[in-house]
Structure 1
Amino acid sequence: MLRVADLDYELPESAIAAEPASPRDSARLMVVDRAAGRIDHLHVRDLPALLRPGDLLVRNTTCVLPARFCGVRTDTGGKAEGLYLHDVASPADDAAPRCRVLLKMRRHALGARVALFDRTGADSGVSLELLSRAESEEADADSGAWIVRVHGPHADWLARVGLTPLPPYILGARRRAGLGVADERDRADYQTVFAAEPAEARARPEHGSVAAPTAGLHFTPDLLGRVTAAGAALADVVLHVGLGTFKPVEAEFVEQHPMHAEWCTVPRQTADSIDAARAARGRIVGIGTTASRTLESFASTDDMRAAVSRVTRLLITPGYRFRHIDALLTNFHLPRSTLMAMVAALLPGGAAQLRDLYAEALGRGYRFYSYGDAMLIV
């Protein structure tokens, strides 16, 4: 078993990226060649030169929802902020939408209302009424959630009031750097160029994410074109990133962690592409942990074709035998996280080797977390 302490490391606040690289593919890239035992320091734009004809890159096309919102209590005037999680069913005699949200305010009370601001900070005309405490989901990742009724103009209400759900560490890094929050820019920056827009902004759980699949943020349309020009192919999966992705591992051993649930799907065409890549002796390269975890949640391509979609709670730790993934493009992750455990599972030296790689990255000035630089393990 893997001790959580073995995934710990010291990260100076200055190493947390407050803003993305511009252009996206100018981010730095640490290339870890396991067979050669070599480390190279390049840029994401150099990726096509590292690929072989027949390789298949698998990307997560989930769309990040504008899930964060701000407002005030209508009775006290106290500030409130929250995170939209998903819709819930309304009674047949109630036309008002209901949804599950996390709410941060001084005191919660049944029947209280929160008047929401629009994206400019003005009154949106939309308010949320607290109906009941929600039963916990995602292995208690959203404990403290509420079921609320939406009052006011219902159509596309989240699109009008919702802000980009940037992780707290990015917001904190910006405060320390004296930077503001430019939501219009983040709406583009915190979305992959290949994200599939949901049919509506007010989404059910299978329609969007509350966090970005961050490895995919490095790609530009030009880079995708150069990847295919190099003889590699692209395939899509969907895993909608839930609140549990931010849940820290609090157990002594990672395997004791109650893994959160996330909805994922593998289209039949992607299963066919995997079989074609195997026939051509190409590698399956996961663009990020979410795309990789999606593939690994299916026993085989036949399983993908049979099931198509499922809810996964797969936890990958060192010793895991990968069924599909041969290489991984990923960012530098939070300490003591299940994401670090998954990356360590790809390395022959496990968590100890990963800590050494992170230490080298820090020594060379790499930027960490969602808007940071990347690592390619081949």
Structure 2
Amino acid sequence: MNKEEFFYELPEALIAQDPLSDRSSSRLMVLDKNTGEIRHKIFKDIIDYLEPNDCLVINDTKVIPARLIGERVGTGATIEVLLLKRKPDEKDIWEVLVKPGKKAKVGTEISFGDGKLVAKVIDIVEEGNRLIQFSYNGIFEEILDELGQMPLPPYITHKLEDKNRYQTVYAKYQGSAAAPTAGLHFTKELLGKIKEKGVTIASVTLHVGLGTFRPVKEENILEHHMHSEFYMINEEAAKKINETKKNGGRIIAVGTTSTRTLESAAKEDGTIEASSGWTEIFIYPGYTFKSIDALITNFHLPESTLIMLISALAGREHVLNAYATAVEEKYRFFSFGDAMLIH
């Protein structure tokens, strides 16, 4: 299976640079995964496609302001650091991406905010990433909130005026380097109406890494290696999901991150056990879904692992036809763009 099979032409003008003022007024393409039939709606219409017996699964991860601009101690040279993931057992040691990398040898110290936060490079890991150890006075999260910037994807060139617009309204646990963007369309009001309809809402956590934006370089997609991401499913969420399945309801994942979490933890019969760990699951056509029945997602980059995942759910031909229609109808693409329901 070659990556070219997941390519589509996208005019640059259709890449959304700014979020809409009203989250739930994005457009919604509804795709029937069996027939390929397409309908055009507004996101708040999603409620019409949810039944009282269903369970909506959201990812409650919170994006950290993971982009730090600092100076190399001793030379004053500008260095940019992007936090990727915290070492599980070491609260002040992080794996990071450093630009320019050649200036960040082991032993290099980088100062942020006139010394409020200092990082020391302690090791070089895979693909040239660095391990750094932070030192500071006070609470790390508060200092990061003050000094850090939101790590917007490379295709967004506009400055984000409001940091909260790159967070879901239900973001809770800090740890992501990128937003679970399908969830950005929900407002508290819309979620309230969905609950009132009798739909169960279950929260899982997957901390999104920048591997999300990593292009597939290998021609044969089976040779692509996924980055690992940390996930958590608690007892309450597992119970809600399992009861929904038992009662004949559907599991509707909000985003590819919720999908990957559920499919990583699902048993063969589709039930979920409360668990946490690291997942490298790579879902592409030929995969048999164990847990989810439907998916709410955004429009993804050509040849990305995300378009491969939705092609596994709805069929590559249906997906590429839907994307061609979205281009024709001038839908907005990627993180701040419009949404799709595959059911």
| TM-score normalised per structure 1 | 0.84
Q: 1:181 to 1:25 in 2, by over 3 A?
A: closer
Query: What is the one-letter code of the residue matched to 2:133?
Result: R
Structure 2 residue corresponding to 1:100, chosen from 83, 95, 104: 95
Q: 1:250 to 1:361 in 2, by over 3 A?
A: same
Partner of 1:19: 18
| 3-state SS of paired residue (2:24) | helix
Structure 2 residue corresponding to 1:345, chosen from 312, 335, 340: 312
CA distance in 2, matches of 1:89, 1:315: 23
Name whichever of 80-89 and 68-77 sits farther off.
80-89
| 3-state SS of paired residue (1:71) | strand
Partner of 2:33: 34
Paired residues in the alignment total 339
Structure 1 residue corresponding to 2:147, chosen from 161, 172, 177: 161
Structure 2 residue corresponding to 1:113, chosen from 109, 116, 129: 109
| Contact persistence 1:124–1:160 (CA under 8 A) | no
Q: 1:263 to 1:285 in 2, by over 3 A?
A: same
Query: What is the one-letter code of the residue matched to 2:232?
Result: T
In the alignment, structure 2 segments of 5+ residues that lack a partner are none
| Contact persistence 2:30–2:340 (CA under 8 A) | yes
State whether structure 2 residue 328 is matched by structure 1 residue 363.
Answer: yes
State whether structure 2 residue 250 is matched by structure 1 residue 283.
Answer: yes
Residue correspondence of structure 1 range 299-318 to structure 2 within 5 A: 299-300=266-267, 304-305=272-273, 308-318=275-285
CA distance in 2, matches of 1:97, 1:267: 26
Q: Deviations over 1:119-151 (max 9, x none)?
A: xxxx35322233332x22xxxxxx222222334
Paired-residue identity, %: 42
Structure 2 residue corresponding to 1:170, chosen from 156, 178, 183: 156
Q: 1:238 to 1:98 in 2, by over 3 A?
A: closer
Q: 1:148 to 1:260 in 2, by over 3 A?
A: closer
CA distance in 2, matches of 1:209, 1:341: 22
Partner of 1:251: 218
| Contact persistence 1:49–1:230 (CA under 8 A) | no
Q: Deviations over 1:74-120 (max 9, x none)?
A: 333322111113344899xxxx9443321102633343332213xxx
| 3-state SS of paired residue (2:215) | coil
| TM-score normalised per structure 2 | 0.92
Q: Deviations over 1:233-263 (max 9, x none)?
A: 1111111111221211111222221122111
| Contact persistence 1:165–1:210 (CA under 8 A) | yes
| 3-state SS of paired residue (1:241) | coil
CA distance in 1, matches of 2:33, 2:135: 56
| Contact persistence 2:6–2:316 (CA under 8 A) | yes
| Contact persistence 2:80–2:99 (CA under 8 A) | yes
| Contact persistence 1:8–1:336 (CA under 8 A) | yes
C-alpha deviation, 1:23, in angstroms: 0.7
RMSD: 2.2
CA distance in 2, matches of 1:31, 1:54: 20
